[in-house]
Amino acid sequence: MKVDDLPLTKPLIIAITKNNLHPKCAIYRDKEILVVDDHQYTLLIWGKLSQETSKAYTLVSIDYHPDTNPPFWLYATQKAMAVDPDREEVLVAKFQKKVMATIDPLNLKTVETVMDVMRNDEHINTAMTLGYLKDYHMINCMEKHQYLKGHHYLVAKNNFGSLEDTMFSEADFLVESLEGESFILDIDLDYFSVLENFQYNPEKFGMFKRLVRGASLITIARSRTYFDYLKKENFTIESCEEKFMALLEKILEEKD
């Protein structure tokens, strides 16, 4: 998935106005970071990586929202309610299955074709169903779901936006659970609400540093609408992205 084969110590940024189907890319010391506008489009990135390496990955996602609704749940629910509300449960499953039947996991064009009916909280379990992911760890500020597959971790309110070790430990997330796993690190920028979130202290960022350095790939969603709604200080999504990218660069360039 490299943009080219040249080793880079500074990021290569490809500026593209619409970066869902054409993500922005940065490379720091061979660590590839891809940025989309809307979170569901990371599904295409994960699918491409899975195809290129012929394996399924574990996902670690840090987000304000849990983003683990079933595949095409809202589309199927709305359609079911329009057809026959009394048969909602049966029809939802039917319409979900119908959309999934149009997808060939090995052909990303078939995935791209249905992205217009996918919401920005349905991509993780869709990736699980398609075999791009084999497990996930969802660290979020809203809900600690219990599904048959995957793991949810609820961030304490006093830790919202934090990437410090205290946030991870109080949410009961253990980076050691990833030992021996190939994993993708995924971050939604709506998780960050104040500029203080980007103040880096190497002594307090041990777990996040291990995630950044150990990830096979890093994906970032800008989620402008949610970011603007949730932020507590007057800064822009562009500033948030810039500061977070600078934080990643610092972690990757830092010598232990």
Pick the last residue of a domain from 56, 90, 117: 117
Q: Does residue 34 lie within any of the structural domains? A: yes
Same domain, yes or no, for 136 and 230?
A: yes
Same domain, yes or no, for 31 and 79?
A: no
Q: Does residue 245 lie within any of the structural domains? A: yes
Half-sphere exposure of 22 (CA within 13 A, CB side): 6
What residues pair up with 136 in beta bridges, in sequence order? Answer: 59
Note down the domain range covering 78: 72-117
Same domain, yes or no, for 132 and 164?
A: yes
Q: Does residue 14 lie within any of the structural domains? A: no
Q: Dump pLDDT digits (tens) for 210-232.
A: 999 999 999 999 999 999 999 99
Q: Does residue 5 lie within any of the structural domains? A: no
User: Any idea what the Cα angle at residue 180 is, between residues 171 and 188, rounded to 5°?
Assistant: 45
Total structural domains within the chain: 2
Q: Dump pLDDT digits (tens) for 112-134.
A: 999 999 999 999 999 999 999 99
Amino acid 18: pLDDT? 62
Q: Does residue 10 lie within any of the structural domains? A: no
**pLDDT averaged over the chain?**
90
Q: Does residue 228 lie within any of the structural domains? A: yes
Q: Could you identify the residue written with the tokens 């949810």? A: 152
Same domain, yes or no, for 30 and 131?
A: yes
Amino acid 168: pLDDT? 98
